[in-house]
Structure formats: C-alpha cells, structure tokens
Structure 1
C-alpha cells in the first residue's frame, strides 16, 4: 500500500529480458533501508525488490517486470535512462499524506495540454472510456505514482474523458511530472474508494 507521495526520482540503469523483464533502478536511497522482497512503487507500479546494492545516496535495486505489467503501463517506460517516481510501501504509523494507492495501474492516459497557471502548471489529461465513471471533480487520482486532486472533468463525444490537474512548483521539481509535455503517456490509477462505489452502484442497477 502506498500514499502517492514521491520520495525520490530513480533512473533505470539497465534492463535485461530473461522471461520477465529485469530492471536495475538507480536511486538516492540508503541500500540498508531497502529490504529484499520489499515493495517499491515505480511511477505508480508496485514492484518487488529482488536484489539491491550500492552506497547511501547512490544505491540501486533490481525488480522483475512481468508481461502483464508491460502490457498495462506506459509503452517504452521500462528502458535504460528513463526516470521513474519512487515511493517505498507505507509503514504502519506513517503519515497518510496523499490517498490510498495500491500500485496497480488501471489505464494509460495522454497529456492533452500543459499550460502555465500562476507559478503552477495546469495539465489536461485524456483517459479512456473505462476510466470515465471513476474520475470526479475534487476526487483523487494517481498519475505516474503521484497523488493528485482532480480540478475539472469533461466527458468527450467519443466516450473518453478529459480532466484537469494543478501541478505546484514543488511537485514539478520532486517528481517527473514537471517534464510532461502534450502527447506524453502516463500511468493512471483511480481512487480505490471510487472503484468500490462504482461496483456497489452497478449491483443496484
């Protein structure tokens, strides 16, 4: 379980295809704090640490990425040199600063627009029709692992949905969201509460 509060940006150092895709991710963590078998969300994807090493501030960890994960996340995300948002799993007693995030990607969204809004950036994302029932103004959504609040929602004629997000300077600086441009793809995870509410509503119909 995660909160969508990013603690570091990692870089995929190398990948190897051996059944599943194996990736080595460089990060500024202390390797002594990374346990084998621990879960780390990598741009919104819950992955399991299978090896780790390096030194404090210059660590690395290794994960296996299944074909299912590759099929459901941003195409070409898992390549050497790519930056990924990192968040270790929530520990009992820690602050729940964002919202409850599972690390299971529901869909891939596309950045439709990026415009300045004061010191912040206003992002407009397009999500597929399957996501439309779960996205609501002032609701929570996870974008590449980052917990964000939806500002506005507009359903599209083709069934897709566009929604607006405000990226403050701090979030832009400490995550990969500050580098997003129109046309870029992102991993999306809906609020788990919205998932259950939609299921309950469908059973009443």
Structure 2
C-alpha cells in the first residue's frame, strides 16, 4: 500500500532482459535502508527488491507489468519516481494507492500557468476506468486531484514543489505515463456494470 507521495527520485543504472522479464537496477538515496523482498513503487508500479549492491538495488518486472505500464520504455539514466510502502500508522497524505497500474496514458498538453503547470492526459476509455472532477488519480505514482475530467481525458495541476521533486519536469507532449485510478471509484464502477 502506498500514498502517492513521492519519496525520492531514482536513476536507472542497468537494464537486463531475461526471457520475458526485465531486471531494472536503480540508484536511490534510500537503498541502504532497503532489504530484499520489500516493495517499492517505481512510477507507481509496485515492484519487489530482489538484489542490493551499494547504492543500487534491482527489481524485476514480468511480462504482465511490461505490457500494461511504461516500465518497459525505461532507458539507462532515466529518472523514476520512487515511494516505499506505507508504514501502518503513518499519515495518509495522498490517497490509497495500491501500486497496481490500471493502464497507460499519453500526455497531450502541457501548459505553464502563473506559478504552476497544467498537464492533460488521454487514455483508452474502453477499459472502463473513469476519473471524476476533484477525485483522485495517480500519474506515474504521484497522488493528484483531477481537473477537467472528460470521458477519455483529464488534467492535473502541478505545483512547483511536485514539478521539481518528481519526473513531471521531464514530461512533454507524447510522454507515456502510468495511471492508477481511485480504488473506490473502481469498485463503484464495477458494481454499476454488474447491476446494469
């Protein structure tokens, strides 16, 4: 379980393909505090630590993860948003995030405003995921509030702190991001579909 509050930025130091799996090695400021089998969210994707060496740790993404997320697009030196699993009893500063990405989306607009940025994303609405105005969504692991919610697009407003401390500063038109929709909204949507 995660909160969507990014703890640190990591840098990809190695990528190794093995059959359908991708082993991803990341350098991070908190590697020394990790242990094998811990969960870390990478751009919102929950992956298990399988190896630790110095300031680097390795996680493995399987085919299912590579097919449904942007993790397979990572390149050496890419910056990833990192969050360790929530501790029981901590404040929930973002929203309930499972680290299970629902689908990807494409950035279709970036607008700099007076002191913030407005990012707009387009996603495949045929997968039955929804956003609602002022509801929560996770973009590359960042807990955000939805604005301009439409059937297959939505926007999020990014404050300077979030822009500087996440990989949002690298997004441009055409960037592919991971989306995790609000878990409560997913249950409500599923119940409505079953009762139709």
Normalization by structure 2: what TM-score?
A: 0.95
**Number of residue equivalences:** 195
Partner of 1:93: 89
- Any idea what SS the aligned residue of 1:193 has? helix
Per-residue deviation, 1:95 = 1.1
**Alignment partner of 1:22 is 2:23:** yes
Match of 2:163 among 169, 172, 194: 172
1:93-122 Cα shifts (integer Å, max 9, x gaps): 111110011111111101110011210001
Q: Quick check: 72-81 or 136-145, which moved more?
A: 72-81
Match of 2:142 among 146, 149, 152: 146
8 Å Cα contact 2:131/2:150 also seen in 1: no
Per-residue deviation, 1:71 = 0.8
Gaps in structure 1 of 5+ consecutive residues: 156-160
Distance 2:166 2:187 in 1: 29
**Alignment partner of 1:48 is 2:48:** yes
Distance 1:108 1:202 in 2: 22
1:155-204 Cα shifts (integer Å, max 9, x gaps): 3xxxxx11111010000000001221111110011000011111111222
Partner of 1:127: 123
Change (3 A) 1:127 1:46: same
Distance 1:116 1:132 in 2: 30
Gaps in structure 2 of 5+ consecutive residues: none
Distance 2:65 2:75 in 1: 14
Per-residue deviation, 1:132 = 5.8
- Any idea what SS the aligned residue of 1:202 has? helix
Q: Quick check: 130-139 or 194-203, which moved more?
A: 130-139
Structure with more of its chain in strand, by fraction:
1
8 Å Cα contact 2:112/2:118 also seen in 1: yes
Partner of 2:101: 105
Match of 2:192 among 178, 201, 204: 201
Per-residue deviation, 1:73 = 0.8
Normalization by structure 1: what TM-score?
A: 0.91
